[in-house]
Every structure is written in C-alpha cells, then in structure tokens.
C-alpha cells in the first residue's frame, strides 16, 4: 500500500498547501482519491508527484465539509462514495459561515456516479468504506461548533473513514474524525475482523491537551499502534502531545508513505 499526501495544511518542499486534506491511495491494484481539499491544489501536487489522477476511478468523500469536498468541482466521470448526509447545508455556530459543499447534490449527480451508504461498503477485497461510525466511548464527539440547515446541532453524522487490510494488519485512514478517531479505529476493527492496527492516518480533530487528547493517546498506547500520522485539523498542542509520546513526524504535502 502507498499513500501520497496531495493536500494538507502544511507544505512540503516544492509543494503547495491549504487548509484541507486529500490522499491518493494505491492498494492491491486499486487507486482511490480520498477527499479533495477545497481547491485544485490536490491536482497540482499530484502532477508534481507524477501521479495520474485519471487512474483513480473512485473518489471517497470522508464527510461533507468544504475543506474536504470542494475540490470535487475539478473532477467528473468517477464513482463517488459517501454518506447520504454529506450534502446537507451546514454552518458554523458563531458566525453562520457556510462550511458545506459548494456543489449541490444535483450538480454532483451530473458529474459522478454516486454511491451513498450509511453501512460499510466494500470497495475491494482489501478496502472498506466504513459508513456511519458508532460513537460509543465517553470522550469523543460530545460537543460541536456546527449547526445544520435546520439550526440543530450538527455532530457531522456523515463523518467516515477507510479500513484497509495489509496482510493480518489494518490501516485506518480518516478525513477529520468528527466521529472520534478512537471510535473510528474500533469500528474499523469490528467491520474488518482484524484486531491489530498497523497505522492510522488523517485529521484527528484534536485542538488542545485536554481529556479527549489524553484519552486518545492512551488508546493508541493500549492498542500498541506504532505508526500514527495526525494532520490537518490536529492543532499544535495536540500534535506536540503526540510527538512527546510517539515521536511522530509532521505530515506535509508531497509526502509518500509505503506500508
């Protein structure tokens, strides 16, 4: 398996960056574009990496936020896998800023073959889109700064991830972990039937050194997960805490991970 970072908040040498996330995943002769960021930065960085995005016939949208899906406007004629709740209008509580997708559901339907699923969906023998994540632990997904189109609290129920099998181990790829990265990993283990987690990638949505960050670190330690790659919406205090425990490497655009 190979994961290339096309978009992230931090720029690598010669590569562009933006607030967003996009990965190009190559696994078992299957190429997947996981999220798109919010501009065409993912396309420009793919070109610098000599990655042909035409080879990715499948796009997975982790959830319906602008910084993960507005890059969809630069693509067409692909299969798009996502949760059916990804297309609602959604806003920040404090200033009513629109944080949903630019393209409407009707516009996206014209550009893509859409597969909407709340349930786990097998993309290939080794890759599972997890669908809606059960939120079972006591420390994740307990508060939100978002509201939906009805004005109700939006806990981003469409937030999902990928479970990728590598032999007898599991690689988990998340976009923003609004559902909680520990909830995601536990569900990935349950759905795949694999207990041993080799690596975890993505935004962990941790902002400071609080109970959630501490419990997340404890979870990774208990489960013996060695390769941990938090990025995007994982802010500096939380990144520092992960560095102190695991000596993580900062994720930057243009980086390639071979597992």
Q: Are 247 and 8 in contact (CB under 8 A)?
A: no
> What DSSP string describes 19-83?
SS-EEEEEETTEEEEE---SSTHHHHHHHHTT--GGG--EEE-SSS-HHHHGGGGG--SEEEEE-
Mean pLDDT in residue range 8-13: 98
* Residue 140: pLDDT over 90: yes
Q: What number is the average pLDDT over the span 217-242?
A: 97
Judged against a pLDDT cut of 90, whether residue 226 lies above it is answered with no
Distances (CA, A) of 141 to 1, 153, 157, 166: 30, 12, 10, 28
Would strands 256-258 and 161-166 be described as parallel, antiparallel, or unpaired? Answer: unpaired
- Average pLDDT value over all residues in the chain: 97
* Other CB atoms within 10 A of residue 201 CB: 28
Name the pTM for this structure: 0.97
Chain mean position to CA 122? 17
pLDDT for 57-100, tens place per residue?
999 999 999 999 999 999 999 999 999 999 999 999 988 899 99
Give pLDDT, residue 96.
87
Task: Quick: pLDDT tens for 23-36.
Answer: 999 998 899 999 99
Inform me whether the pLDDT recorded for 119 exceeds 90: yes
Whether the CB-CB separation of 179 and 169 falls below 8 Å is answered with: no
Angstrom distance (rounded) from CA 53 to CA 146? 32
Domains of the chain with CATH codes: 2-258 (3.60.15.10)
Q: Please report the pLDDT score of residue 58 as a whole number.
A: 98
Element (H, E) at 245: helix 236-246
Percentage of residues of the chain with pLDDT beyond 70: 100
For 157, 211, 217, 222, the CA distances from 135, given in Å and listed in that order, are 10, 16, 18, 19
State the Cα–Cα distance between residues 112 and 51, nearest whole angstrom: 21
Query: What's the mean pLDDT in 168-187?
Result: 98
């Amino acid at each position: 398996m190979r994961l290339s970072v096309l978009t992230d908040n931090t720029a690598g040498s010669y590569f562009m960056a933006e607030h967003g996330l996009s990965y190009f995943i190559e696994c078992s002769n299957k190429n997947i574009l996981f999220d798109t960021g919010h501009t065409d930065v993912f396309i420009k960085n793919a070109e610098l990496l000599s990655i042909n995005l035409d080879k990715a016939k499948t796009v997975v949208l982790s959830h319906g936020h602008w910084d993960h899906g507005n890059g969809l406007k630069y693509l067409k004629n692909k299969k798009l896998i996502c949760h059916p709740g990804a297309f609602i209008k959604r806003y920040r509580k404090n200033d009513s800023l629109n944080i949903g997708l630019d393209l409407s559901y009707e516009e996206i339907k014209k550009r893509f073959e859409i597969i909407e699923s709340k349930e786990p969906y097998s993309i290939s023998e080794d890759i599972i889109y997890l669908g809606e994540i059960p939120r079972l632990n006591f420390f994740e997904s307990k508060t939100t700064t978002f509201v939906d189109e009805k004005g109700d609290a939006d806990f981003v129920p469409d937030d999902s991830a990928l479970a990728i099998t590598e032999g007898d181990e599991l690689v988990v790829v998340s976009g923003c972990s609004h559902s909680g990265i520990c909830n995601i990993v536990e569900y990935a283990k349950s759905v795949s039937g694999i207990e041993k987690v080799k690596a975890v990638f993505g935004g962990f949505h941790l902002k400071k050194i609080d109970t959630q960050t501490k419990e997340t670190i404890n979870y990774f330690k208990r489960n013996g997960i060695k390769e941990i790659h938090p990025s995007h919406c994982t802010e500096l205090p939380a990144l520092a805490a992960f560095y102190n425990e695991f000596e993580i490497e900062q994720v930057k655009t243009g980086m390639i991970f071979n597992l």
